[in-house]
Amino acid sequence: MDVYQEAVGYLTSQHVPAAVQTETEVMEEDVFQEEADSCPLSPLHPQSVDFPDTPTLSSPEEMLERRLTVLKCIVESEEVYLRELEALLMPMKALRASAGTSKPVLSSQQVQTVFYQVPEISDMHQSFFSGLKERLNAHCRSEPGPGEDGQMSYTGFELVVGDLFLKMVNQLGLYGGFIGNYEEAVQVVRKCTQLDPRFRTLAQSMMSNIGSDKTRTKYTFEALLYKPLDRVTKTTLVLLDLLKTTPETHQDFALLQEALRLSRSFLSGVNESSQSKRGVTLSHGMRRKLMRDGFVVDASEGERHMRHLFLYTDLLLCTRFKHATRGKQDQYRFGWFLPLAGLKLRWVSDQHRPPDAQLRLHTIRTKMHLLRQQLRQHAQGSKGLAFAARSRKKLEQVELMLLTHSPVYTLELHSPSGKSHTLLLSSLYELEEWREAIHKLTTDNIETVPPDLLTLTSACVKLRMTQQPPLHSTNAAVEGEMCLCGTLSVAVHSACGLQQPASVYVCVEVDGYEFYDKQATTHSSIHSLNPHWDQELEFQVDAAQELRLLCVSQADGKNDTVLGKTSVKLESKTLNERWKRQTLHLGQVDVTVSLKFSPHPLEPPSATAPLHPVFCIPIEIVTQQEGVMVPHVVRCCAEEVERRGLAEVGIYRISGSSSDINTLKSVFNSNLRDAVTRLRRAEVNVVSGVLKLYFRELPEPLIPADKFQSLARSLEIQDVDSRLVSLFSVLHSCPAPNRNTFLFVLHHLQRVSERQDTNKMTLINLATIFGPSLLRLPVAELGHIGSSMDISVEVVLQVQVVFCYLQCNNLPEAQTSLPHDTDSEDETTHM
């Protein structure tokens, strides 16, 4: 019998090419080997484990509901484990049969060594899985349906499974033989993998269906052989979780306590320094290696906690960092881990904070600003040094609180096993770095070797590249003269280099102390290959050294995609109160910006952002305070309609929710940054309603009322060309903000009308809607003109004026922003 052919047949049946792999990847030595020698903790010694805290549930009903969830997770985990054991045992029969041939792959002794106790372990877990699943299914079938009285059944006291766990734990002795034999089994597998190409093909390409969607995952033989060893070390953790959700009055409580005692007794008797956990090979010869680490906020348990996240070649490890007391070493406590195989990522931004969270942030920022000022005042003298040391310590604590409560970017991690975790970050730039690093490692569907969690966690002290959270109060470099303190203005002009038309926005971030918001975004552009914004963003900065820009593509119903990012060093000697224009290279996209800086001491942070209302305010005042020619509310709403409302039937004719419109109006009056974010999520008819409301509530109409009679006389001119000349002569006599905003709206309405076959909005329809808002009679004249011009005639004139302008095929372009005079020619920065 040719066992090689049978092995090839096995691989073919699993849809795996049976080509012999001769090229191996050379990786560095296992970084955990030294730690395994010295680490006093081991998952085989659970008494030494400081388990993560589990919230105490308030009532038996809540505990039993959680208990049912835990039991379902155990059943799912057992099912996956049984499939892994099945994949491990699949070639055993063929290898045994070949042992008596003239060309055996493994000898009979080697087969016995490799698979020692594995069939018995599989049978034990199959019995446990079948019994547990049967009882769980019977319990779920007996639960009452909707509307039925299910108080007694819901409590779940009748679901008894403790005897099944006790029976399984009494058979853990099978694992004792497996653990004692494990090192020799691994040596046989490694030796035969190197010497026999037939076994190498088999050992490096074993497959199993994992998860509810039967995803096919590739393993190495050694990775599968590790599964039982990893499984038995988790027995105590599983029993602890189940016991914590079982009321003391439940029949299972005593049984589970006994099972937990026996499990601990078994594991504590196993050699803690077992060599079996060292140097486990991942698929294709890879070794586990630390790729990135840093501090993030973990919100998986409903509360925010600062955690140290470690990214290895095959998994993410979340730990709790504990500062060491004097004379001792820093420590990490295990939080959770997720294999990278099949891991899905999704990020979202939630810039809106509830009032209580906003108040908490203000309190923290105010305290931090006060401590910062005290440090500057008491930096000299011996007494000053002692006071500064205490103030700096307090500043570190307050800044750490701010890092925990200020993040608004959410990174969701979803594992194929159903486990999910949520991370929060303050910086989109940092989030994208994490996302890129994780995505790069998840592109290869290589199965993880389950880690020795305690050895891995202990090794973090030695391997970490980030020593502490990014606190500016601990960075002496922020006190230098090169850091910026004052007002930094960033004008984002345009972008080019997009591969296809897209709706994009630019996110700008600065570093330094977070007394004020350190991040802002432009509005979303219309779909274009060369988007334009000409939007000015302003930051109050202290100890700023770096500016970060990200270009983000926005698609309806999909996650935003970062097209490129870059960072720019901020130096006081190169920035002044004149604009400095430069083009930044963000990967495939080039973004043109202008920077200027005005140094001055910062005022203490206010509880609310300074109010610059835009509704019911003369347009010349709004444009002056925004430093633009067209108010941001007009540009943002119009471009948002063009981005996703051109195909909306009856756009501008159909009204959105009045309450939603008024909510957006209030946000525009209080916080433009928040308004831009909310606008992207608002219903498109609400967006169009906000734009119409803005023009209706202008104290003075967009076309000044004193121009009404001149425009009415222009309409009486019969020659079309002469009529247009007269109309534009009147328009050019209007103030610049009025004229450019009117031209901007006209261009916008023409683009809406270009899609009239879909949205049913012709030029005359749009003129009918906007005419009365853009053009009105002087208030003082209404009483006098009433006898000669009734309201219907006035409306007709308003509509006709706007319609005549809309019919013009060569409208002058609108100037949306003030020119940014620069003191040097444009320069290009490639990052």
Please check whether residues 238 and 317 belong to one and the same domain. Answer: no
In this structure, what are the phi and psi dihedrals at residue 601, rounded to the nearest 5 degrees?
-65, 145
Residue-wise pLDDT for 679-736, tens only, equals 888 999 999 999 999 999 999 999 999 999 999 999 999 998 999 999 999 999 999 9
Pair 192, 110 in one domain? yes
In tens, the pLDDT along 26-38 reads: 233 333 333 333 3
Burial of 470: CB neighbours in 10 Å, binned 0-12, 13-18, 19+: middle
Q: What is the pLDDT of residue 96?
A: 85
- Domain stops at, among 223, 252, 276: 276
Q: Can you tell me the distance from the alpha carbon of 541 to that of 524, in angstroms, rounded to the nearest whole number?
A: 25
Residue 681 dihedral angles phi and psi, to the nearest 5°: -100, -10
The candidate with the shortest Cα–Cα distance to 44, out of 258, 241, 263, is 263
| 661 plus 564 within the same structural domain | no
- Report the half-sphere exposure of 17 (CA within 13 A, side-chain side): 3
Over 60: is that where the pLDDT of 171 sits? yes
**Amino acid occupying residue 804:** C
How far apart (Å, rounded) are the C-alpha atoms in residues 546 and 511? 6
Residue 717 lies in a domain: yes
Q: Which amino acid is at 359?
A: L
Average pLDDT, the chain: 81
Verify that 107 and 80 share a domain, yes or no: yes
Q: Please tell me the number of Cα atoms within 13 Å of 458 on its side-chain side.
A: 19
**Residue 502 belongs to some domain of the structure:** yes
CATH number of residue 518's parent domain: 2.60.40.150
Residues forming beta bridges with residue 817, ordered by sequence position: 628
Instruction: Indicate whether 470 pLDDT > 70.
Output: yes
**What are residue 583's DSSP bridge partners?**
592, 828
Of 276, 299, 321, the residue at which a domain comes to its end is: 276
Task: Say if 75 falls within a structural domain.
Answer: yes
**Domain assignment present for 817:** no
Confidence of residue 448 (pLDDT cuts 50, 70, 90): low
- pTM for the whole structure: 0.62
**Same domain assignment for residues 252 and 310:** no
Q: Give the CATH number of the domain where residue 398 resides.
A: 2.30.29.30
Give residue 615's pLDDT.
Answer: 96
Let me know whether 640 and 684 are in one domain: yes
The pLDDT of residue 457 is above 60: yes
Residues 353 and 261 in one domain: no
CA distance 303 to 465: 26
Number of domains, the chain: 4
Q: What are the Cα distances from residue 391, in Å, to 378, 472, 789?
A: 10, 14, 73
Please say which residue of 599, 628, 660 terminates a domain. Answer: 599
User: Is residue 796 situated within a structural domain?
Assistant: yes
Residue 405 burial class via C-beta count within 10 angstroms: exposed 0-12, middle 13-18, buried 19 and up: middle
258: amino acid identity, one letter: E
Range of the domain at 514: 484-599
> With left for phi above 0 and alpha for psi between -120 and 50, is residue 582 left, alpha or beta?
beta
pLDDT of residue 224: 86
Residue 307's pLDDT band, with cuts at 50, 70 and 90, is very high
Quick one: 651 and 721 in the same domain?
yes
CA distance 226 to 447: 12
- 107-111, 561-565, 592-596, 731-735: lowest mean pLDDT where? 107-111
Quote the CA–CA distance of 183 and 217 in Å, as a whole number: 25
What's the CATH number where 735 sits? Answer: 1.10.555.10
Residue 769 lies inside a defined structural domain of this protein: yes
- Residues 246, 309 within the same domain: no
Q: Is residue 459 part of a domain?
A: yes
The answer to whether residues 271 and 289 belong to one domain is no
Residue 51 has pLDDT above 80, yes or no: no
Is 446 in contact with 341 (CB distance < 8 Å)?
yes
pLDDT of amino acid 362: 83
The enclosing domain of 236 has a CATH number of 1.20.900.10
Q: Are residues 233 and 308 in the same domain?
A: no
Q: Is the pLDDT of residue 97 over 70?
A: yes
Q: What integer pLDDT is reported at residue 383 of this predicted model?
A: 54
**Angstrom distance (rounded) from CA 683 to CA 637:** 11
Query: Is the predicted pLDDT of residue 829 greater than 60, yes or no?
Result: no
Q: Is the pLDDT of residue 21 over 50?
A: no
**Residue 712 gets which letter from DSSP?**
H
- Whether 575 and 624 share a structural domain: no
Q: How many angstroms separate the CA atoms of 623 and 120, rounded?
A: 79
> pLDDT value at position 44?
35
Q: Is the pLDDT of residue 590 over 60?
A: yes
In angstroms, rounded to a whole number, what is the distance separating the alpha carbons of residues 285 and 26?
7
| 430 in any annotated domain | yes
**E strand spans, 191-244:** 206-210, 215-219
- Signed CA dihedral, 625, 627, 629, 632: sign only: negative
pLDDT band of 182, cuts 50, 70, 90: confident
Does residue 215 have a pLDDT over 60?
no
Whether the per-residue pLDDT at 505 is higher than 90: the answer is: yes
Highest mean pLDDT among 261-265, 328-332, 385-389, 533-537: 533-537
DSSP 697-709: T-SS-SB-GGGHH
- Whole-number CA gyration radius for the chain: 34
Within a 10 A sphere around the Cβ of 67, how many other Cβ atoms? 24
- Chain-centre distance for alpha carbon 554: 15
Q: What angle do CA 179, 183, 185 make, to 5 degrees?
A: 95
pLDDT band with cut points at 50, 70 and 90 for residue 209: low
SS3 content of the chain, % helix, strand, coil (to 5): 50, 20, 35
Contact 410, 350 (CB under 8 A): yes
pLDDT tens-digit readout, 420-439 = 999 999 999 999 999 999 98
Sorted by sequence, the CB contacts under 8 Å of residue 358 that are 6+ apart come out as none
